[in-house]
Structure 1
């Protein structure tokens, strides 16, 4: 563990101490902008080591008066110091590090006769924030903040990591405060972008990030970039980026790498020639190419038996049609048969057996295009050969929304848009919906409508009808769920939580075209798993709705 040599005071050029600062490189310190308001030069000291070092103010975050955001200033020493800089926490790690009332330390330099430093133990949380800028600080009993703490690093004594900087406090009559405010690392970097070069971020390498940030230094975030950002991410940002680099960081830290490749490709069009060339060169060196068109080995090349079940208006009956789909076009189909509901399975199995000649000796799958209320039927347990009792689960089996097979279906049009985005992305990236999720149908509908890049949903149990309808209405093309009911009195120990995690992990990085085969593999694994233990492949439903696989409606279909 270091000796905390990076903690420093900052003062007026005439010598008076004004607050605190902390060392982030051998020549660079960070403090509050309000501490050095109106000053271009300052004095810096490392208590007990080096005192009264000259420094220049080289960057300010835009703070001008009390209450302004951007209370960050950067100091540059005239000579490097031989001390290890502070360790900085990663922005993504802050919620976990501050959980459970974890105590942190701040070191300030109040105006005292001994002219020494003082320490305060504080707690904070991202849930206790103000105007999306500051996090609340609460001191522990016997500790307080006072003048001279501004610019102090809020750090973890166990790890030495800095999570933020004290900016202000609510001082009482005794000039002490039990309540203050911190600017977290995640906000500080908005006002001094070079800080990103020093943070442990989870994307790219530090040299590659530094090169990209330098390349985009000074490039503003414009209206054309805002349109491109929305097209790549599928939704507007919660907070408008402050610069082109800020928008790049937003994509890199919130979306898969292929989105970053796409966004940088669009951003390059708005750069002047030399920068555009440098960005193209950088992208070629550090990023994988954006996904191309669907691969020939994905399910787009699979032949299919498409079982179409249309409920007729009266008589509790169904029109049953089995189509074939071969080499990207409709093959021979069976004659439509109208049967009572209790006869549907027999009619399907008989018609499937008659259609096998068109797909055997190929890679093929079975697609059930059925009404919404039938999507959770265990079709994989039906038979491709009723006589020999050979189950359909030997092949990939998926379900589809029969309404989307109608040429004039709005659901089909919505699905086409999300399916295209899903294939361009090239990975499933599922959204998880636990069995303890309390959102009602309208709230669920709004959530999906607001996030049109959500293309794969994984449920911890069979979705209720309102959520299923909302997902279908919003064009979600892929959904997976286990039909195993949640029967636990306490969701903290619910087996369906584990099933949800296992199922999401199994499909997360898979290409969407491979999901029918992934579901087949999971069902096979479930067959060999102990029956008294849950498995995500048991009772598994995969809704996989490729809108391009659209056989012509049968002539007998009742409109």
Structure 2
């Protein structure tokens, strides 16, 4: 044969040709969904072969229902394998050079002889439409007609297939302009095509096993947030499935990024699938997969002020792999006993997280947010302070399920993670402190998700930020008491702190704050440093342990 034995046609079960098709495996062909619209079964044959063809089941893969819809893809499943060599598909990376070559197409227009016709076309990714189709331009003396839909677009020299003809601008029965779906879009709708493409990441067997593990898993908002955390920015398009997101990471980033994303994905799967994914990662990604370091484990200290008296309800939880872990019973303590009770509780719970990347979150009343918790101890007997770990504060009001502050925080946190970088709003130490100006500023600018203060924020600023759902704030607790603010300590610290977090992903901020605190330890004491006395309010609403029964509304 001439190496093109995979070229075929598709028709109605009772006879008559509707368009083209091409063989991609011994039992499957690809064609357009519109060519087999309304058919559960079709008949397929191959160029140059006599006979009525073979019966095939029609499987629609995309979202096509009417002209202009995306996803004009259908699979034709044969009852038995055919003794023909399937088409050789081009690697996605090779499509970049498509504009430098000519390609062949064929079709079955309505002609008395019932035969096929051929045309030469050129195409290029830069001439795309709706990020779906590439423009096809027939060569001199050639044109497209009805009956070309479903034809592979193949290199005339290598016979590699780069796409499939889907439609054309037909006038007076002919078209000088058409469109194709490149293989990179066909696989968007028919994911099993990835098993056949010459991809460069992992082995074909490993990829096939991984795709099978994720079959049927939808791409959800939590998976999108995990993706943004791992690669540093949200994708430019959505995905139809978890496999689409995994493929996006594997083909655009390093193997380490892939391992991290799979580690984050595992806990979101049913338990059995999660175990199988962990086993797969261990076999194919070298060592055992990393734990979900992009969502660090935590000891969460929850401190609720009682309505009457100088007492608090204290509960300590752990958080790991996106869910609550072991916790301690709620304890009622007076104000002077809070620190001792917290230090003992953290010392008791933290060993359950040893060996992981973990942090300490203080969910406390608004008036406690500026306390130097990093100076408290995880091991007082040996003088080991909490500052050896990332320490953040949270608004305990947002841990109440019916809190409007929580609802507001969800909105800005979602925007922040979709953006994938902090983009902080600096608040200068000499900014006006009275009136509703600050409240109105935040309410009018819902994209202000990270605030950096040049000095300890006054109560009105803090309340306004919490009421408007600002999820991240940073400040040094050292006040700026300069007489003038042209080159004051607050301005210098603000500039330094803003620059440090400006491009950071929000998920990296707790560890970044830890790094700044460590740098401040060796900085001259008489010089301002943005890591000295640093408070980070970091309020990820998804880290939401169940409230103790006594605190439920």
**TM-score normalized with structure 2 length:** 0.55
Change (3 A) 1:269 1:259: same
Aligned counterpart, 1:177: 175
Deviation at 1:67, TM superposition (A): 0.4
Alpha-carbon contact 1:165-1:184 (below 8 Å) kept: yes
Query: C-alpha separation between the residues in 1 aligned to 2:279 and 2:104?
Result: 44
Could you list the runs of 5+ residues in structure 2 that have no partner in the other structure? 294-489, 531-553
SS at match of 1:177: coil
Change (3 A) 1:421 1:14: same
Query: C-alpha separation between the residues in 1 aligned to 2:529 and 2:36?
Result: 78
Q: CA RMSD in A?
A: 3.3
Alpha-carbon contact 1:268-1:279 (below 8 Å) kept: yes
SS at match of 2:81: coil
- Residues 249-268 of structure 1 mapped to structure 2, 5 A cutoff: 249-268=247-266
Change (3 A) 1:555 1:243: same
- Residues 344-355 of structure 1 mapped to structure 2, 5 A cutoff: none
Deviation at 1:288, TM superposition (A): 3.2
Alpha-carbon contact 2:249-2:258 (below 8 Å) kept: yes
Aligned counterpart, 1:42: 42
Aligned counterpart, 2:196: 198
Query: C-alpha separation between the residues in 2 aligned to 1:281 and 1:114?
Result: 58
Deviation at 1:239, TM superposition (A): 0.4
Alpha-carbon contact 2:229-2:507 (below 8 Å) kept: no
Query: C-alpha separation between the residues in 1 aligned to 2:519 and 2:16?
Result: 73
Alpha-carbon contact 1:404-1:411 (below 8 Å) kept: no
Alpha-carbon contact 2:109-2:146 (below 8 Å) kept: yes
SS at match of 1:24: strand
Aligned counterpart, 1:552: 523
- Residues 263-412 of structure 1 mapped to structure 2, 5 A cutoff: 263-289=261-287, 409-411=496-498
Alpha-carbon contact 1:59-1:192 (below 8 Å) kept: no
Change (3 A) 1:419 1:247: closer
Change (3 A) 1:184 1:555: same
Alpha-carbon contact 1:89-1:200 (below 8 Å) kept: yes
Aligned counterpart, 2:237: 239
Could you list the runs of 5+ residues in structure 1 that have no partner in the other structure? 294-402, 425-451, 453-474, 478-544
Aligned counterpart, 1:356: none
Deviation at 1:2, TM superposition (A): 4.4
Aligned counterpart, 2:113: 114
Aligned counterpart, 2:95: 94
Aligned counterpart, 1:67: 68
Deviation at 1:59, TM superposition (A): 3.8
Deviation at 1:27, TM superposition (A): 0.9
Alpha-carbon contact 2:263-2:290 (below 8 Å) kept: no
Change (3 A) 1:419 1:234: closer
Query: C-alpha separation between the residues in 1 aligned to 2:499 and 2:185?
Result: 42
Change (3 A) 1:557 1:263: closer
The answer to whether structure 1 residue 32 and structure 2 residue 32 are counterparts is yes
Aligned counterpart, 2:141: 142
SS at match of 1:172: coil
Alpha-carbon contact 1:405-1:550 (below 8 Å) kept: no
Aligned counterpart, 1:325: none
18-27 or 2-11, which moves further after superposition?
A: 2-11
Alpha-carbon contact 2:229-2:505 (below 8 Å) kept: no
